[in-house]
Structure 1
C-alpha cells in the first residue's frame, strides 16, 4: 500500500518543533505510534485483498463520474441526488474511508450483520449516538455522518494524503494536496493508489457499477484524473464566489479556532486556502478546455437549487447516462424539497480581509459567463 513518507516526515518535524503547543504530545503519539501501527495493519490487509479476492485482479473502473468545484458550491447536493439513483453508482460512505482494504470492509460489514441480525443492534445504536454527538453540532455547516456518502479523497488518509492534518494543525501553507496536476513526482503514485481504492470499493459494491465521486479538493486533480481514467466524466459545480469562498474560509477557520490556534498561527494557512479557492474555479475550466473529448458539463448552483430535476436531467444527458423511470419519479418527488436547500452557516467577506474587488479581479473571466453581481452593481441598486 502506498504511503507518502515525504509528507509524513514534514508533519512530524513540524509538530516536533511546536514546543509550546499543549497538544504536541498527543499529536506525536498519533504520528509516531498510532500511524505506523495502522500503516502495518493496512498494508498487510491491502496485500491480502489480492489473495483473498482474486476478482480484484480483473476489476475494471469504467466511465467514472467526478463532481468537482469549490466547496459549498453544491457538490454534496449533486452527489447525493445522483447516489439516490438506485444501484447505478458505487461510492464511499464516510466510515468506509477509514479502512482502505477490501478485507477490512468485508469484516466490518460482517460484524454489522451479526450485530443487527443476531444481537438486536446494540453496537449500531451506540454508533448512532456517537455519530449524533460528534457530527450533530456541525450539521448546519455540512451534514456529515458515518453512513453518508462523502468526499472520497478522504479514503486516501491511510496513505497520509489527506487534508485532515491541515485541519488539526494549520499546515495548508506547507502541505499541498490540491495542486496534484503540477506535482509530477507525486501525481502518478497518488493516482495509482487512488485507483486501487476505487477498484476495491467497486468490488465491495458488486463490481458492475459506476464509481461516483465528489471532491472539491480534486478540482486541482482533473488532469491527473483524466490521465488515470481516460474515460472519466467530469461535472463542475459553479457558484458565486462571494458566497462560497468566505463560507469555506469561515468553516476552516472555525475548525482551527475550536482547536485553540491563534489567528497569527493560522494566517499563512488561511492565505494559502484563499489562493486555492481561486484556483478551484480556474483549473477545472482550463484542463477541460484542453480535453474537449472528455464528457463534461458545468452546473450552475442557482439552477441546481431552483430546478434540481431539470438540472440533473441535463447532467445525465451531457454525460450520456440513462435516466431510469424510477429515478425520474424520485427527482420529481424531491424537486420541491431541494429547492429549499440552503445553509444556515453565516459568513462575511469582511471577516477575512477579502474584498469583493479582489474576487472580481481574480475571477474576472467568469463574471460575464454566469452574470454574477459585481460590487458596483450592488452599490447602484442601493
Structure 2
C-alpha cells in the first residue's frame, strides 16, 4: 500500500515547530504513534486482499465518471443524483473511505449482517446515534453521514494524501493536494494507489459497475485523471463565484477557528485557498480543451437546481450514456424534492479581501460565458444561463434574476 512519506515528514516537521499551539502534543502523538500503527495494519490488509480475493488481479476500471468543480458548486448534488442510478454506478460511502482494504470492508459488512441477525441492530443504532450527534449540527452546510456517498479523496487518507489535514490545520503552503497536474513525480504514485482503491470498491460492489467519483480537489487533477484513465468521462460543475468562493472560504475558516487558530495563523493559507479557487475554474476548462476527445459536460448549477431531471439527461447524453427507465422514474419522482432541498449558510464577499471586481477580473471569460451578474449589473445582450454540452456550455437567454448572488445563499 502506498504511503506518502514526503508529506508525512513535512507535516511532522511543521507540527513540531508549532510551540504555541495547544493541540501540538495531541497531534504529535497521533502522527508518531497512531499513524504508523494504523499504516501497518492497513498495509497488511491491503496485501492480504490479493491473496484472499484473486479476482482483484484482473479487476478493471472502465469508463469511470469524475465529477469536479469548485467546492460548493453542486458537486455533491450531482454526485448523489447520479449515485441513485445504482444499477450502473459504484461509489464510496463515507465509512468505506475509512478502510482502504477490501478485506476490511468485507469484514465490516459481515459484522453488520451479524449485528442485524443476532443483536437486532443494536450496534447500528449506536453508530446512528453517534453519527447524528457528530454530523447532525453541520448537515445544514453539507449533508454528511457514515452511510452517504462521499468524496474519493477521503479514501486516500490512509496513504497520507488527504485534504483533512488542510481543514484541521492551516497548512496550504505545506501540503499541496490540488496541483497534481503540475506534479509529475507524485502523479504516478498517487494515481496508481487511487486506482487500487477504486478496483477494490468495484469488486466490493460486484465488479461490473462504473466507478462514480466526486471531489472538488480533483479539479486540479483533471489532466492526470485523463492520462491515467484514458476512457474517463468528466462532469464539471460551474457556479457563480460570488456564491461558491466566499462560501468555501468561510467553511474552511470556521473549521480552523474551531480548532483554536487565529487569523494571524491562517491568513496566508486563506490567501492560497483563494488562488486555488480561481484555478478550480480554469484548470478543468484548460485540460478538457487539450483533451477534446474526452467525453465531458459543463453543468451550470442553476440548471441542475431548476431542472434536475432534464440536466441529468443532458449529462448522460454528453457522456455517451442512456438513462434507464428505472432511473428516469426516480428522477421524475424526486425532481421537486431536489429543487426545494436547500440549506442556509450565511456568508458574504465583504468578509474577505474579495470583491466582485476581483472575481470578474480573474474569471472574466466565465462571466461572459455564463452570464453571471456583474457589479455593474446585467450586461445588455449577455446570456444568463447555459445548456449542458459535451464541448462546453451553449448560451441561451433567460432572466437575469437567476444569476444574482446574495449575501445569504442557498447550498445544496
TM-score of the aligned structures, taking structure 1 as reference length:
0.98
Residue 65 of structure 1 is matched in structure 2 by 65
Residue 356 of structure 1 is matched in structure 2 by 356
- Say if 1:173 and 1:269, in contact at 8 Å, map to a contact too: yes
Residue 100 of structure 2 is matched in structure 1 by 100
How many angstroms does 1:353 deviate by?
Answer: 1.4
What do the CA deviations read for 1:171-191 (whole angstroms, capped 9, x no partner)?
A: 012211000000011011000
Name which structure has the greater RCO, CA cutoff 8 Å, separation 6+.
1
| Structure 2: distance between partners of 1:356 and 1:175 | 29
| Structure 1: distance between partners of 2:182 and 2:360 | 25
Residue 337 of structure 1 is matched in structure 2 by 337
Residue 210 of structure 1 is matched in structure 2 by 210
Which secondary structure state, in structure 2, belongs to the residue aligned with residue 235 of structure 1?
Answer: strand
Residue 234 of structure 2 is matched in structure 1 by 234
Q: How does 1:123-202 map to 2 (within 5 A)?
A: 123-202=123-202
Q: How does 1:1-382 map to 2 (within 5 A)?
A: 1-377=1-377
Which secondary structure state, in structure 1, belongs to the residue aligned with residue 354 of structure 2?
Answer: coil
- Say if 1:305 and 1:341, in contact at 8 Å, map to a contact too: no
How many angstroms does 1:166 deviate by?
Answer: 1.4
| Structure 2: distance between partners of 1:140 and 1:230 | 37
How many angstroms does 1:378 deviate by?
Answer: 6.6
| Structure 2: distance between partners of 1:283 and 1:175 | 19
* Structure 1: gaps spanning 5 or more residues: none
Which secondary structure state, in structure 2, belongs to the residue aligned with residue 345 of structure 1?
Answer: strand
The total of aligned residue pairs comes to 382
Which secondary structure state, in structure 2, belongs to the residue aligned with residue 376 of structure 1?
Answer: coil
Q: CA RMSD in A?
A: 1.4
What do the CA deviations read for 1:6-34 (whole angstroms, capped 9, x no partner)?
A: 00001101111111211111100110000
- Say if 2:309 and 2:331, in contact at 8 Å, map to a contact too: yes
Structure with greater helix percent? 1
What do the CA deviations read for 1:95-141 (whole angstroms, capped 9, x no partner)?
A: 01110000011111111110111111111001000000000000011
| Structure 1: distance between partners of 2:26 and 2:167 | 15
| Structure 1: distance between partners of 2:86 and 2:218 | 25
| Structure 2: distance between partners of 1:61 and 1:117 | 34
| Structure 1: distance between partners of 2:271 and 2:86 | 42
| Structure 2: distance between partners of 1:8 and 1:338 | 41
How many angstroms does 1:360 deviate by?
Answer: 0.5
| Structure 2: distance between partners of 1:379 and 1:30 | 54
What do the CA deviations read for 1:151-198 (whole angstroms, capped 9, x no partner)?
A: 011100100001111111110122110000000110110000000000
Residue 384 of structure 2 is matched in structure 1 by none
| Structure 1: distance between partners of 2:301 and 2:378 | 20
| Structure 2: distance between partners of 1:62 and 1:53 | 19
Which secondary structure state, in structure 2, belongs to the residue aligned with residue 344 of structure 1?
Answer: strand
TM-score of the aligned structures, taking structure 2 as reference length:
0.91
| Structure 1: distance between partners of 2:187 and 2:119 | 45
| Structure 2: distance between partners of 1:335 and 1:38 | 43
Which 4+ residue blocks in structure 1 deviate beyond 3 angstroms?
378-382
- Say if 2:11 and 2:174, in contact at 8 Å, map to a contact too: no
